[in-house]
Amino acid sequence: MAEDEPVEKVLQTDSDRARRIQMPSLSGVSQVGIQARRVAEGLLSGQHSSRQFGQNIEFSDYREYVPGDDLRHIDWRAYARSDRYYIKRFEAETAVRACIMLDVSKSMLYGEGDQHKMQYSADLAAAIATLLISQKDSVGLALFDEELRFWLEPVGSPEQLRRVYRALEQVRPQNKTQTGPTLQFVAQHFKRRGFLVLISDFWDDVEKTLKGLNHFAHRKFEVLVFHILHPDEIEFPFLGSLEIKGLEEGVLETEGGRHIQKAFVERHMKQREDLKAGCTRLGIDYNLISTDEPLHRSLLRVLSARRQVRG
């Protein structure tokens, strides 16, 4: 891709896909890319060198049941036809088709420095993309607010990783959040099941978000949700007279800070609990991340928990 080529015109396919995938050298890589590589290299070293994301399991064939087999894998339809017990055998595909969805709405502008939600989330997206490419998987990117703003078709190559880095460097948050329409768009672009990573602060309608995620759960996608919040949004440490500026909703002036603090915390806690409960019901991996937690630690925590669940 030429250096002066607009990111919006990046081709959605790559006929020169590399057979052997390695992380790109730091030469010419953006600051987002440098941070992503550092995080990824730390996670890929030592005990963290196993596959991190997207174990795409597909049905292979049958074999007869033997005592000690997992009863969950018995095919009862085959039993009804033959009066014999058969176990479904599965195998992991060598590559996963993944998409990272990143919220670029105006509310993501909250915070400063390392705790800035948009910067933290962009670095997280870049690190995950780097890990996926290092596993020889295909990675796509969807940037959205009220609607889809940018789309990269999943491709597995170092060149694709540079496209992802460049797109993340150019993010300019605006507008409100509506997760549902972009979830629907991405679902339509996956003919087979794959791996979805959704990164957002979820200042959105929880019911509509869960409805969109249900499309992926129904098709047996592996879905990983990162709920990114600034510590202020979790604790609301403001007292006294307040002027609350909703980044997506305008301005509210009010008195009685402690009353407002309690109402805000309770309302937002319920929203988080509803989203988490809905994800659990759908079999989706939900993770609340506060931007005061260093990125490498939060990602390591999530990956470690996933490994424990998988055994």
Question: Quick one: three-class SS letters along 39-67?
Answer: HHHHHHCHHHCCCCCCCCEEEEEEEECCC
- Report the C-alpha gap between 261 and 244 in whole angstroms: 11
Band the pLDDT of 168: cuts 50, 70, 90.
Answer: very high
Cα dihedral 67/72/78/83 (nearest 10): 40
What is the location of CATH 3.40.50.410 in the chain?
20-49+95-310
- Report the C-alpha gap between 200 and 223 in whole angstroms: 14
Return the CATH superfamily for domain 20-49+95-310: von Willebrand factor, type A domain (3.40.50.410)
- Report the C-alpha gap between 224 and 124 in whole angstroms: 13
In eight-state DSSP terms, residue 242 is E
Alpha helices (runs of H) in the chain, residue ranges in sequence order:
31-44, 76-82, 117-134, 158-169, 179-188, 206-218, 231-235, 257-282, 295-310
Q: Which pLDDT score is estimated for 267?
A: 84
Q: Which of 47-61, 144-158, 257-271, 279-293 has the lowest mean pLDDT?
A: 47-61
pLDDT over 80 at 268, yes or no: yes
Whole-number CA gyration radius for the chain: 21
Give 72-94 pLDDT, tens digit per residue: 778 788 778 887 777 765 545 55
Q: Which pLDDT score is estimated for 180?
A: 92
Q: Which of 3-12, 156-165, 188-197, 250-259 has the lowest mean pLDDT?
A: 3-12
Give 92-134 pLDDT, tens digit per residue: 555 789 999 999 999 999 999 989 999 999 999 999 999 999 8
Q: Which pLDDT score is estimated for 69?
A: 72
Within 8 A by CB and 6+ apart from 154, the residues are 97, 98, 99, 138, 139, 140, 194
Give 3-51 pLDDT, tens digit per residue: 333 333 222 223 222 222 233 333 344 566 666 666 666 655 544 445 5
Q: Which pLDDT score is estimated for 200?
A: 98
Coil, strand or helix: which one is 215? helix
pTM, full prediction? 0.73
